[in-house]
Structure 1
Amino acid sequence: MTGQLHPSDPSSVAGYRLLGRIGAGGMGVVYLGRTEAGALAAVKVIQAEYADDDEFLARFRREVSAARRVESEWAVPVLGADTEAERPWMATAYVPGPSLAEAVTRCGPLPARSVRVLGTALARALEAVHAAGLVHRDVKPGNVLLGRDGPRLIDFGIARAADATTALTSAGMVVGTPGFLAPELAAGGGAEPGPAGDVFSLGCLLAYAATGRPPFGTGASDALLYRTVHDEPDLEGLDEELRPLVRECLAKDPELRPAPRELAGRLAGDPAADPLGWLPESVVLLIAERSARMLDLPDVEPTRAEPVAPTARPGRRRLLAVAAGGAAVLAAGGGAAVVWNSLRGAGGPSAAADRWIIGVHADLSGPGRVSGREQERGVRLAVEEYNARPDRLFELAVTTADDGGSPERAVGAASELADEPRLLAVIGPTGDPEAEAALPRYEEAMLPLLAVSPGHPSLAGVALPGGQSRVLLHLRPSDLALSVPIGVHLFEQAGVQRPGLIQDRSTDLESSAVALATSVMARDAGHVLHPRVVPPGVHEAEGFGPVVTEMLEAGIDSFVFAGLPEGAAAVARELAAAGFTGPRIAPQSVLDPLFLEQAGDAAEGWLVHASFVDAAGLPAAEGFSTAYREEHGSGPGYRAAEAYDAAGMVIQHLAAAAADGEMPSRAALAPLLRESTYAGITKEFAFDPDTGDFAGEGRFAHEVRDGRFTFLGPV
């Protein structure tokens, strides 16, 4: 994950354009950089105050030298460096994936096969490190990155030559990470680090990957060092075949540990056989989301016929699993519809009720006002329903904050809501940029934020003082997860062999995710994808005609458009004029009346995948639709029903708490919501309790028929 550049940061270093911060320490900053050719790099730049520190520069030169000496496909290579520059720097290849530590924390322990493949790759990396006459000295989960084409060992900051006679550390200093440090080094007796110490660290890492916990526990450094020297490792839960080999790696006597080459042979994993197939589905999706974000980085120079960047190949079964389900969604909301009909019009409010507030943060006056107003109406209907209950124990109110579709105004809107002491939860904002801007303020107030429409993966990477958000709940699949069914649908169509794809960079919301998912699915299905990337504004300039003509001449038999409704309409007209009748699919940004207006008859037959329903076409939402029509004189628009469900989920928890005699605080409500499931009228809601990510089924298909979008149901 990357954070924004600071005003004091340089814009470029030695030809690398800096795009964001990967991390920072007391002595340097690591930036995400890109060359003019588009290659990404992790650029480590030393702070100016250390550039004249001879001892520190000696360490940095040693780090650069060590990294350059290692030649392994499973270690991150050095792309360039200048240790004598005014601000010394080093660039290594960038791996757009999580560390092993993050993957295990977010997705849980790895299965035995995954551990074997991981261990094989890292053992081969250590073999190369030791062949170069080096010892890594800090093999740990945070120093292993999981990329699209396999794991990578990183960080040679404390590596040293195995035969070095001059130490650059103080006498008696323990160098390495407690809990992953070999006992001969943890004892602090001045033992020299050797290759066997790296093998011990790798054994600790494999135990952690397989069980989700370090083999010598957690806690204070002194306690970890003591247990490493004197106690046996905790290998409970480790696969029976792996346990003896890991135990050999963790032998107290360095002479009894296997060498990396022997270890790789006995693990017998092949990381190159299936670059992503060795990992569980949840980790594959995490890697894919990180890769998708890389497609959203600013262009160096946009081009009109740029091929889509190569992507990894998770197995078809795994991507199908992400898109599977949904058949039970229609049934899941039936109870909610009955509740609505039975409570609507029930007895009046109780005069003794306490008053609490649900906030709606939305774009009510800007470009997203249609969706924002629908979400406000959905929340208000849910609150009216509750207030009509004769047995209610408190009264609810709704207050709104309008950000006008502006990230700058979104911060003020969030503060306005957060400062209301009786407000317990917020539904919104409408757009991704506004949600990203507002989230830190809601985090500061520990105010639960239920995001109905935002779904871009970058929202999960917002830089927060405490790290991962504690208050955010995603009420829909991410753009990447939502894009997977597009490929599933396309490649299950009879006769589809050469799909075409246009990625319109006018939007950074779904286009990169759709491009990534379609590319992965095409490769896995054995099809030849014909992709084109166009810069913003093409439909306003020369149009899509030349690009569409070139794609048709290349023989495409199906088509995916990733972009805005105006661009989709322009492409639809070009395809219709050429007589193209193959499958045509687009993401939910195209589910807009503008597409129908501008495309005209050319829109017929287009299929659009979305995270929201048409409540008028959903039997479970019949009561909601009737009530909405009575209130507003017309049927509900998109996302009104989802916002109604969001409010209903909050109300369910508040009502249960009130029945037990105590309303939850804001801080207590967020984890309660994350740990819950809720059968709404649109779908069943479930979440990852640690991250707030949506874990339910929420993908729906709409098709243009007779000049209007027709709701087809769950995908």
Structure 2
Amino acid sequence: MSARLLPTDPASIGGHRLLARLGAGGMGVVYLGRTEAGALAAVKVIQAEYADDPDFRARFRREVEAARRVTSPWAVPVTGADPDAAAPWLATAFVPGPSLEEAVTRHGPLPARSVRVLARMLAAALREVHAAGLVHRDVKPANVLLAVDGPRLIDFGIARASDETAITSTDLVVGTPGFLSPEQAEARGSEVGPPSDIFSLGCLLAYAASGRPPFGTGTADALLYRTVHDEPDLAGIEADDDGDDADTGDGDLPTLLRRCLAKDPADRPTAAQFGTALLVEDTIPEGGQLDWLPADVVRAIADSSSEMLALPDIEPTVAETPGDAEQAAPSRRRLLVLASGAAVLMAAGGVAAWAALRDEDDQGSPAPRDHRWAVGVQADLSGAQRTAGEAQERGARLAIEQFNSSKNKPFELALKTVDDGGSADRARTAAKKLIQDTDVLAVLGPTNDEAANAVLGTYDEALLPLLCVSAGGLILTAQQYRSFVHCRPSDAAVALPISIYLMRQKGKLLPGLLQDRTARTYAQESAWINALMLRRLGRPVYPRVIPADTDDVEPVVADMMRAGIGSFIYAGDARGGVRVARALADAGFDGPRLTPQAVIDPAFLKGAGDAAEGWVLTSSFVDPSAVPAAAAFTAAFRKRFGAAPGYYAAEAYDTVNLVVQELVKGTKGGRPPKRQELLGLLRKSRYKGITKEFSFKPADGTFAGWGVFLHQVEGGRFRFLGAAPSEV
């Protein structure tokens, strides 16, 4: 559960001598600390780069205020905090036991009576939360720590006053999918109140009783959809015989869970009702402890306590050389250097811009004249998406070659490419190869979601910047990574303009929405975002779902025609799109037909033939041959590779030029910035490329621009229409 302190960790924070690391995430580190009086605490310290963000600091200050307002024996109390310190921190009482998530994962579901006791105590904690005018918003197994005398609710990071609206804006989903209420899943911010926490508590209790979330597992969008539309899976959860309310059914665990998981917030019990009507028999004997957990979990708590309370020796401070210190903690000043009068080279048409900056105060040794640092490319060059992978590799190579041909460059760059075949297993090996090459300062790739999801954690551990231009699933941003820079909108964001496009059409056309499960996660995300958006715009869809690998789609299309649809949205891949296009043509449907970018594939044009004509498609990429700003790039690409640039070639070219811009900006003494420093530069960067303007959210590296485009099938080809609409 704990790890040794790193050389870069502070020795103390706010009067707490730090003893070990309890965990680390994208925002900061949680340490095991000890006060001068000997009390142990969990000390949460925010990284400096986020502390510099006024919005983030304000959010952290609210977390401290929210946690301090809750006084319950079943909620971890705040013992100290300083949200205004250079490195903001929050200390809470230390609970050495495992989380509920860890206990269930290792030892299986809890007995029904244990779940009932857990329900009563957590409800008591939520009663205090709600009495303080707060809503926790993230009640989940990982946020409940187990102790012999009862559970402890932790993490008030997104708790808010019930009348606050700053974080409840439209379309912002806050919390953990799978443990959210329907009103959270649909981002109905003003409706998220105490009943939302009760729904989440129901999800948590169902997980504790069955070992699985009540709405299954999978991608975020799938979980959100099931939460809103499906009934919870409570199979195998049985009532115990200890309840006093067996006659009425109120004490029956499945009945209690169904009440908590009611779709309508008004149908859920309040936290106070748990202790006054639902679970009154589970009380702690006066002067004693409640024997509420199975023996194996109690042993696990004891083992965990022994491990955590065997405090490590305090290690002596080791003096660092200036070089070591720079490597451990790169200067924040370097991220802000903007040299006026710097030499700027602009390639033809403005396609590649970089600034050669010098710092006269740099004391570092000059770089060897023949040394080459590198940009890596991890791509699918031999698998199903090798066309896109090859296009990206070529776009990146052209950017590097143009940079090296410049006269005033401060150093030369190499391009180092690894082929992962688009598979998760090969992706991990490929990532390790690039990570171990210390000359590689940033990596472009991988090509698809499967490979990207497999290596995000690996690159994160190495703090090697990973820039994705084609992988786009929401799963990539489900967890905050320090090294991830997403250079395109997510798949859901790319599908969103479909709704905007339809709302701009004349007449109130009933949209038909078909989700093809052959495309799995991609189809789910594309369908979910449009169903949500159109409902919010006052035009609910007529939705249908077809099982994976369904060949006969005519009955579904016929049903949608009988429903009177006037427009059609297809969420699926090119193979399924062929069948759907033919079925719509056979039915004589000529209304607007729209689909996101997975259908932009030659196989769709070839298979659908005339039935493909008129289809409108959204994408995260451009056709560079149709973009005036990309004329110089297109000509240079043809000359270098003897062919027109494919999709994603220009995006890769832009991304590498963005990396070059920040490498040169941070150069001192002929040396480019190190990986970690480059990451900070990239997340704060802005770059106007030939495809779009690049900017990112510093907190998580997600794309902050628009970057969505339209294509339409005309004359048997995909014709680029330009930027997709962003407003109704």
TM-score, normalized by length of structure 1? 0.58
Residue type at the aligned position of 2:137: L
Shift of 1:645: 0.5
Query: Counterpart of 1:694 in 2: which secondary structure?
Result: coil
2:643 is matched with 634
Task: Tell me what 2:403 maps to.
Answer: 386
Partner of 2:375: helix, strand, or coil?
strand
Question: Is the Cα–Cα contact under 8 Å of residues 101 and 142 in structure 2 kept in the other structure?
Answer: no
Provide the residue aligned with 2:390 in structure 1: 373
Instruction: Tell me the residue number matched to 1:74.
Output: none
Report the alpha carbon displacement of residue 571 of structure 1 after superposing the two structures with TM: 0.7
Find 2:101's aligned residue among 1, 26, 30. 30
Does 2:338 match 1:338?
Answer: no
The secondary structure found in structure 2 opposite 1:538 is coil
> Partner letter of residue 460 of structure 1?
T
What does the per-residue CA deviation read over 1:640-684, in whole Å, with 9 as the maximum and x for residues that have no partner?
A: 000001100111112223366442111111111001101111001
| 1:568–1:694 Cα change, 3 Å | same
Listed as ranges, the matches of 1:122-271 within 5 Å are 129=127, 144-145=136-137, 206=161
1:65 equivalent in alignment to 2:147: no
Q: CA offsets, 1:75-99, max 9 Å, x none? A: xxxxxxxxxxxxxxxxxxxxxxxxx
Are residues 532 and 399 of structure 1, via their aligned partners in 2, closer, same or farther at CA, if it must alter by over 3 Å?
same
- Check whether the contact 1:498–1:527 (CA below 8 A) recurs between aligned residues: yes
Equivalence for 1:460: 477
* SS of the residue 2:531 aligns to: helix
Residues 517-567 of structure 1: CA distance to partner in whole angstroms, max 9, x if unpaired? 22123222333411111111113xxx2111111111221111000001011
Q: Deviations over 1:30-71 (max 9, x none)?
A: 39xxxxxxxxxxxx849649979xxxx998643323567x8x
3-state SS of 2:101 partner: strand
- Relative distance call for 1:450 and 1:557 in structure 2 (3 A) is same
The answer for the alignment partner of 2:188 in structure 1 is: 276
Q: 1:175 to 1:30 in 2, by over 3 A?
A: closer
1:425 to 442, 467, 489: 442
Asked if the contact 2:143–2:153 (Cα under 8 Å) also holds between the matched residues in 1, the reply is: no
| Matching residue of 1:364 | 381
Deviation at 1:441, TM superposition (A): 1.5
Pair 529,206 (structure 1): closer, same or farther in 2 beyond 3 Å: closer
Aligned residue number for residue 523 of structure 1 = 535
Does residue 605 of structure 1 match 2:622? no
* Aligned 8 A contact 1:361 1:429 in 2: yes
Give the unaligned 5+ runs of structure 1: 4-23, 32-43, 71-124, 130-134, 147-151, 160-166, 181-200, 213-270, 281-286, 302-309, 313-333, 344-349, 463-467
1:203-602 to structure 2, matched below 5 A, reads 206=161, 276=188, 278=190, 292-294=221-223, 337-340=348-351, 352-462=369-479, 468-539=480-551, 543-602=552-611
**Is the contact made by 1:144 and 1:154 (CA closer than 8 Å) also made in structure 2?**
no
Determine if contact 1:292/1:480 at 8 Å carries over to the other structure.
no
Over aligned residue pairs, what C-alpha RMSD do you find? 4.5
CA distance in 1, matches of 2:145, 2:101: 16
**Alignment-mate amino acid for residue 144 of structure 1:** H
Aligned partner letter, 1:397: A
**Structure 1 position 625 matched with structure 2 position 642:** no
Cα offset for 1:411? Answer: 0.3
1:335/1:517 Cα in 2 relative to 1: closer, same or farther (>3 Å)?
A: farther
Structure 1 residue 29: Cα displacement: 3.6
Q: 1:655 to 1:168 in 2, by over 3 A?
A: closer
Change in Cα spacing, 1:623 to 1:497, as seen in structure 2 (3 Å) is same
2:299 match: none
CA contact (8 A) 1:337 1:622 kept: no
- Aligned residue identity for 1:338: G
**2:644 aligns to what SS in structure 1?**
coil
Q: CA deviation at 1:570?
A: 0.9
**What is the aligned-residue identity percentage?**
40
SS of 1:506's equivalent? helix
CA distance in 1, matches of 2:475, 2:700: 14
2:99–2:142 Cα contact (<8 Å) kept: no
Instruction: Tell me the matched-pair count.
Output: 468
Structure 1 pair 207/377, CA: closer, same or farther in 2 (3 Å)?
same
- Cα deviation for residue 25 of structure 1 reads 8.9
Deviations 1:204-225 (A, max 9, x none): 954997999xxxxxxxxxxxxx
Residue 320 (structure 1) aligns with: none
Equivalent of residue 651 in structure 1, options 660, 670, 677: 660
What CA distance in whole angstroms lies between the structure 2 residues aligned with 1:47 and 1:647? Answer: 44
1:653 and 1:158 map into 2 onto residues whose CA distance is: 43
Aligned amino acid, residue 599 of structure 1: A
Deviation at 1:633, TM superposition (A): 1.9
Query: Which of 670, 676, 679 does residue 667 from structure 1 map onto?
Result: 676
Indicate how the Cα distance of structure 1 residues 490 and 336 shifts in structure 2: closer, same or farther if over 3 A, else same: farther
Whether the 8 Å contact between 2:424 and 2:451 is mirrored in structure 1 is yes
List gaps (5 residues or longer) in structure 2: 1-24, 26-94, 168-182, 193-199, 201-217, 232-261, 265-344, 355-366
Quote the Cα distance in structure 1 between the aligned partners of 2:347 and 2:191: 38
Output the CA distance in 1 between the equivalents of 2:664 and 2:686: 15
Counterpart contact for 1:295–1:512, Cα < 8 Å: no
Indicate the residue corresponding to 2:303 in structure 1. Answer: none
Query: Within 1, Cα distance between the matches of 2:596 and 2:659?
Result: 29
Equivalents in 1 of 2:485, 2:573: separation in Å? Answer: 26
Contact map agreement 2:496 2:530 (CA 8 A) in 1: yes
- SS of alignment partner, residue 399 of structure 1: strand
TM-score (norm 2): 0.57
Q: Distance in 2 between matches of 1:51 and 1:553?
A: 49
